Amino acid sequence: MIDHVSITVTDLAAASRFYDAVLPPIGLPCVWREAEAIGYGARTEPGYVTIRLAPAVVADRRHWAFRARNRAAVRAAHAAALAAGGRDDGAPGLRPDYHPDYFAAFLLDPDGNRVEIVCHRAERAGTRDRG
């Protein structure tokens, strides 16, 4: 299991708008800000994220996947990211090639980093349809 990650960006202000929108709906609020980095989540919990300023970023198909507690959070994070300057790289939906309940959305942050929001749970009966 991954404990924490650092994602490099060239424009911290643009990245801040994107990650401030996409990470809180999945339980990773912004917890600190400095001139060259931003932290999300709790350092004592798995999944802590740091966004760090770098002189250059190569959009090389790196893939950062964040787990959401339910499909509604996947949809909310995707919509918030698009509104904050992210680009769609795969709308929220089932990806049955991975497994029957793999529900994910794919985005590109302002630097082209690939970001996935995923839920592995089946939806309960009486909630929104499976897609």
Say which CATH number the domain at 81 has. Answer: 3.10.180.10
**Sequence-separated (6 or more) residues with CB below 8 Å from residue 74:** 26, 68, 92, 103, 104, 105, 117, 118, 119
Q: pLDDT tens digit string along 76-112?
A: 999 999 999 999 999 999 999 999 999 999 999 999 9
What confidence score (pLDDT) does residue 4 get?
Answer: 87
Evaluate whether residue 131 is within a structural domain. Answer: no
Evaluate whether residue 13 is within a structural domain. Answer: yes
Contact 78, 92 (CB under 8 A): yes
**Sequence-separated (6 or more) residues with CB below 8 Å from residue 11:** 110, 111
Q: How many domains does the chain have?
A: 1
Q: pLDDT tens digit string along 18-36?
A: 999 999 999 999 999 999 9
User: What mean pLDDT, rounded, does the chain reach?
Assistant: 91
What letter represents residue 92's amino acid?
Answer: P
> Band of the pLDDT at 126, cuts 50, 70, 90?
low
Evaluate whether residue 127 is within a structural domain. Answer: no
What confidence score (pLDDT) does residue 97 get?
Answer: 94
Evaluate whether residue 58 is within a structural domain. Answer: yes
- Domain range spanning residue 98? 4-119
Evaluate whether residue 31 is within a structural domain. Answer: yes
Tokens of 96: 């049955």
Evaluate whether residue 66 is within a structural domain. Answer: yes
Which of 70, 68, 73 has its CA nearest to residue 124? 70
Evaluate whether residue 126 is within a structural domain. Answer: no
Instruction: Look at residue 13 and tell me whether its pLDDT is greater than 60.
Output: yes
Evaluate whether residue 17 is within a structural domain. Answer: yes
